[in-house]
Amino acid sequence: MDSGFMIRRNRAAGRPFSSGNLSGKRSPEASFISGSATPFNMAWKSIVSQSRLKTLLTGILASKRVAHAYLFSGPEGSGQDPAAIEFAKALLCERSGTEACGECRNCVRVESLQHPNLTLVFSLPAGRNEKLGDLPLSKLSDADIALVQEQVRLKALNPYLAMTIPKANTIKINSVRLIRKESSLAGFETGRRIFIILNAEAMAEDASNALLKTLEEPPENTILILTTSLPDRLLRTIVSRCQHVRLAPLTAGEIQAALEERENIVPEEAAAVAKLSGGNYAKALQRLHSDLKERSLEAVDFLRTALGGSREEIGNSIEAVASAHEKQEIGELLLLLQDWLRDAMLLKEGGAGEPEDGGSLRRLIARYKRIDLPGAIAAVDRAVSLVDKNAYIPLVLLNLALALQESINPSELTDVRSSPAGSAGP
């Protein structure tokens, strides 16, 4: 589970203990995560879509009736973390409006996750010989702390980032107990104290029980914001003590529009990436920096082998694809093949526009006179469904090769079932 740790004030150093204390140089990881070189600075606009959520939060701020605890839940990558951070920014904004101004000193510090009245809590690896009551970071190695700092710095650059910290599987009770301790102390600055618990479902049982005590007796002027994509894994008593704010799933169209506007991606590529993202904007940003063209060529090569390769070549192709990719990657490979076949169908039927791989598509249509492209697309769709259901991948690919032959080149079927390729099956 990708979660996080607690950012807290380093009293000895007199500055926030967070990734903001690192060098201001942008790392390759930041470029991978987002094409933007600076943190988001657009108030609610930093949240992709979610108009209902923005209206709700604006209403809360306008009414001045802020609850002591909120639970932001929604599908993974729909924007729980960005929404929580933006809400915290608005609550701490010096102008006290219905959204963060993005310009005052408080807003700037929240954006960099360095405001002394804002604390993030998320999973940490267990420290060496860590005991109950130890500070969450006190038993970690310098290398582990540096890695955590870097992940928080990247989170500030892109709040959609799913933080990755090795061996950080649970939110520790020491992190949760520190919430109550910190909230009872005099603040470094006046105003609200805000604690954001990222991926709250990662709390261990003892941590959940500790949080419940805090929710039952909330400290004065303290606001807790929990985020999760798995609310059913939280204690019901925790959920019942929070104002539950639900985020809607993001559509492929909303993700495509965000990629075009925020990352300056051309519509064709944005559409392809959005389709592969599964409604997860963080995943869409990662996909931007993977070589979709190369992977699309790999999918088409599989098709070419299925149609014209020898039985041994087909078997080798199935084995290569199955061994080189994880289940999710194979599903994405098949979706790229499906898109390629759809382009062929549109071209054959005189659809508007020139596909990127128009030459190869025309050669396919010209060579196979009896081609049944809807049948081929349906065959790939069935294969994608089987992959999602954890079917045996080599057998799925074997049956797909047969189905593609039947749909595209029925006059020259290759009997792969009685060939060495058959060994790819169970």
| Closest to 159 in 3D by CA, of 110, 217, 192, 96 | 110
The CB density around residue 366, as the number of other CB atoms within 10 Å, is: 9
> Which residue has tokens 């076949």?
341
**CA 9 – CA 36 distance, rounded (Å):** 28
Show the tokens assigned to 410: 């029925």
User: Is residue 2 in a domain?
Assistant: no
| Total structural domains within the chain | 3
282 and 297 assigned to the same domain = no
207 and 276 assigned to the same domain = no
348 and 388 assigned to the same domain = yes
153 and 281 assigned to the same domain = no
Domain boundary, last residue among 191, 224, 249: 249
189 and 260 assigned to the same domain = no
User: Is residue 70 in a domain?
Assistant: yes
281 and 297 assigned to the same domain = no
**CA 301 – CA 321 distance, rounded (Å):** 11
96 and 43 assigned to the same domain = yes
Task: DSSP letter for 194, please.
Answer: E
The CB density around residue 22, as the number of other CB atoms within 10 Å, is: 13
Give the Cα-Cα-Cα angle 186, 191, 192 (nearest 5 degrees). Answer: 90
167 and 258 assigned to the same domain = no
Per-residue pLDDT of the chain (426 residues; tens, 9 = 90+): 333 344 443 333 333 333 333 333 333 333 223 333 334 445 687 899 998 999 899 999 999 899 999 999 998 889 999 999 999 999 999 988 888 888 899 999 999 999 999 999 998 888 788 778 777 787 888 888 888 888 899 899 889 888 878 788 889 999 999 888 887 776 567 788 999 999 999 898 999 999 999 999 888 889 999 999 889 999 999 999 999 999 998 998 999 999 998 888 888 888 888 887 778 888 888 777 666 677 788 888 999 999 988 889 999 999 999 988 888 788 888 988 988 898 888 788 775 455 667 788 888 888 888 899 989 999 998 998 898 888 999 999 999 999 999 999 876 544 444 443 333 332
35 and 161 assigned to the same domain = yes
Domain boundary, last residue among 196, 224, 249: 249
47 and 108 assigned to the same domain = yes
User: Is residue 51 in a domain?
Assistant: yes
Contact by Cβ (8 Å): 141, 99: no
Print the domain residue range for 411.
Answer: 292-424
298 and 276 assigned to the same domain = no
**CA 335 – CA 137 distance, rounded (Å):** 43
User: Is residue 3 in a domain?
Assistant: no
Which CATH number fits the domain that encloses residue 173? 3.40.50.300
**CA 21 – CA 153 distance, rounded (Å):** 9
User: Is residue 345 in a domain?
Assistant: yes
Domain boundary, last residue among 288, 309, 341: 288
Model pTM above 0.85:
no
User: Is residue 1 in a domain?
Assistant: no
130 and 260 assigned to the same domain = no
